[in-house]
Structure 1
Amino acid sequence: MSTSYAHGATVTKGTTASGESFRGEIFAYDDGAKLLVVRTPGEISNSYDLKFVNVAGAKDIEIDASTAKDPEALPTVDDPRRERRFEAACRAAKTAGDNIGENVSALAQDVFDALARTLPCKWNKDVIVVMDEVDVVGPKYDAASGSGQTPGALERVQKVLELERAKLGL
């Protein structure tokens, strides 16, 4: 690591190759790639924004090296928190993937997305299953059918379907 880009040092001024100015705390530097990572406080409390800067093309970089941190004093990684965040991201990705129909039309996916905003939905091949008891079948996806074990479920789904199709301009 280059001593001029020490972790924790403050970039008081800098300009990217495209002319964008930047400043902040040095989070990381890769000497081989000539890539500087600068962090600034984010809009959300206790969060940071990262900016990746190619220092080979950057100009007018000024650094206050007196603010650099001792590498031994770097924070440790909270492994349980990292693992929880990873698992939550995996669950979210799986849910997002499950909400994408296979071999369905764009209309079917639009109707599914609209219904899923207000009601629990899932795909059963090309049939939208709402609340585990009402089916919305193609090719038009304009009518709900099913046993409706829950009183009023079929009527509720039909009403939401009509409203969402109207919002979609169908």
Structure 2
Amino acid sequence: MATMMDPVTEEFAIGCVLSIKTTLGDDFEAQVITFDRASNILVLQEGSKSGPRKNLRLLKANYIKEFTFLRQAEDPLDLKNCYLDLSSLQAREESAIRQAEIEAERIGVGVTAEAQNIFDALSKTLPVRWDKTVIVVMDQVRVCSPYFPESVSGGTPAANERVRKVLELERKRLHARGSHS
């Protein structure tokens, strides 16, 4: 028969399988690998129902709403059955690095907060990138400091005019937002 345990007063025994409900609404079964009392972090191993793959979950114990002891199991770190999919981990890492680089390229270096706000606003409707402190729109139109419609140069007359209009509208919007703060 399963028993309810109080996460505050009970130790989490290594190897025991628990049914856990979190304060965030998660409901899952996992085996305790270890519990670090100093950080209050529980390291859990969730088994995949579809095969031998397992998932590790680190959970702050104060996020546990309730848990039930289901059974005691074998050593959770049975290394002969331990497998890391390194190619999958490397792919996830490379994807995260690419995403961080893309996000970093969207942040101007040595520009004012206003310039960054203008860049962000333009990026919602047009393809933009930074070239040092110059905003390059559609790979042809350049917007230099102080980022007014008069600061727009290059590109076809239609593209240039479009950027001027969008810039003018965004400056009005930013100014209106700033005056209400």
- Please give the TM-score of this superposition, normalised by the length of structure 1: 0.65
Instruction: For structure 1, list consecutive stretches of 5 or more residues without a partner in the other structure.
Output: 41-46
**What secondary structure sits across from 1:94 in the alignment?**
helix
Please give the alpha-carbon distance, in whole angstroms, between the structure 1 residues aligned to 2:75 and 2:144.
61
Aligned partners of 2:160, 2:77: CA distance in 1, in Å? 63
Inter-partner Cα distance in structure 2 for 1:49 and 1:31: 13
Deviation digits for residues 32-60 of structure 1 (CA, Å, limit 9, x no counterpart) = 745214689xxxxxx99863226xxx898
Measured in 2, the distance between the counterparts of 1:37 and 1:5 equals 10
Name which of 95, 100, 104 aligns with 1:97.
104
Q: What does 1:18-167 align with in structure 2 at a 5 Å threshold?
A: 24-26=28-30, 28-31=33-36, 33=38, 35-37=41-43, 51-53=59-61, 62-65=68-71, 71-72=77-78, 76-139=83-146, 141-143=147-149, 145-149=152-156, 152-167=158-173
User: CA separation in 2, counterparts of 1:132 and 1:37?
Assistant: 49
Does structure 2 conserve the Cα–Cα contact (< 8 Å) formed by 1:121 and 1:132? Answer: yes
Residue identity in the other structure for 1:105 = T
Alignment RMSD = 4.0
The 3 A distance-change label for structure 1 pair 81 and 135 is same
Matched residues in 2 for 1:125 and 1:152: separation? 25
Q: Which has the higher mean CA deviation after the structures are superposed, 62-71 or 160-169?
A: 62-71
Write the deviation string for residues 118-158 of structure 1: whole angstroms up to 9, x where unpaired: 2221222221111221111222x221522215x72212222
- Give the total of aligned pairs: 154
Cα distance in structure 1, aligned partners of 2:19 and 2:153: 63
**Percent of aligned positions that are identical:** 36
User: Residues 50 and 71 of structure 1: is their aligned pair in 2 closer, same or farther, counting only changes over 3 Å?
Assistant: closer
Q: CA deviation at 1:94?
A: 0.9
Gaps of 5+ in 2: 1-10, 47-54, 177-181
